[in-house]
């Protein structure tokens, strides 16, 4: 598997946060509380977004020195503009005061769902087919052939922040014909590294401008 990590240093902080109403608990999983964020993220051209507050500050995670995270999931950053054509930037033509809840991942880009384990082993490895792919499956069941360009933003909640945080853009691998940014937990990465983490989807296989290596072989 190939992964590309790009680290950017923010010289001009474009993510604007302001307080709104109190948060409400959505669910608890593995000793982590997930609540509707009590703040709104404003991104130029994308509008006002409300995400999820992820609470790691408890006794269970204290030994890992993790901090709380604000996650904004399923933000559409690009629009499909025809097969083999570059995608278009998505932006609000008529900005409004509406706040969009970004609490669910966007659909994965179109890709084959492998049901025959032996065939997947043939083009990858046995470990990939038996250990990794079953975990990936739950993130790629929901797909969209055209509109699938979504990103997820994970921002550490640091009190009295003195300077802009670094930004890490995570581009998933998996051979350019499978995968999704949602499969990688940017919250843990952001909490531990104290950096803003962004994961993205990109068009795969024959739906991309460049055919993937595996499709060329078949």
16 vs 162: CA distance, rounded Å: 15
Decide which of 95 and 11 is more confident. 95
Closest CA to 157 of 17, 28, 58: 17
Closest CA to 23 of 104, 101, 105: 101
Number of domains in the chain: 1
CATH number at residue 208: 3.40.50.1820
| Mean pLDDT within 12-18 | 40
The domain of 200 spans 4-217
pLDDT of res. 16 = 43
Query: pLDDT class for 99, splitting at 50, 70, 90?
Result: confident
The pLDDT tens digits for 149-176 are 999 999 998 888 888 899 999 999 888 8
Least confident of 31-35, 69-73, 196-200: 31-35
Contact (Cβ atoms closer than 8 angstroms) between residue 69 and residue 112: no
pLDDT of res. 156 = 93
């Amino acid at each position: 598997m190939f992964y590309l990590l790009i680290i950017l240093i923010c010289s001009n902080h474009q993510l604007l946060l302001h307080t709104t109403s109190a948060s409400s608990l959505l669910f608890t999983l593995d000793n982590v509380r997930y609540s509707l964020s009590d703040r709104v993220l404003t991104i130029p051209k994308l509008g006002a977004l409300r995400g999820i507050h992820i609470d790691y500050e408890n006794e269970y995670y204290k030994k890992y020195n993790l901090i709380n995270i604000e996650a904004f999931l399923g933000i559409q950053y690009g629009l499909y503009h025809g097969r083999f054509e570059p995608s278009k930037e998505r932006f609000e033509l008529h900005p409004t005061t509406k706040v969009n809840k970004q609490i669910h991942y966007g659909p994965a880009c179109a890709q084959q769902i492998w049901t025959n384990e032996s065939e997947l082993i043939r083009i990858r490895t046995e470990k990939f087919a038996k250990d990794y792919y079953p975990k990936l499956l739950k993130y790629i069941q929901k797909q969209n052939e055209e509109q699938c360009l979504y990103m997820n933003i994970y921002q550490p909640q640091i009190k009295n922040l003195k300077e802009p945080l670094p930004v890490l853009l995570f581009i998933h691998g998996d051979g350019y014909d499978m995968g999704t940014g949602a499969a990688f937990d940017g919250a843990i990465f952001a909490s531990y590294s104290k950096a803003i983490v962004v994961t993205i989807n990109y068009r795969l296989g024959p739906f991309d401008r460049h055919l993937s290596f595996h499709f060329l072989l078949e």
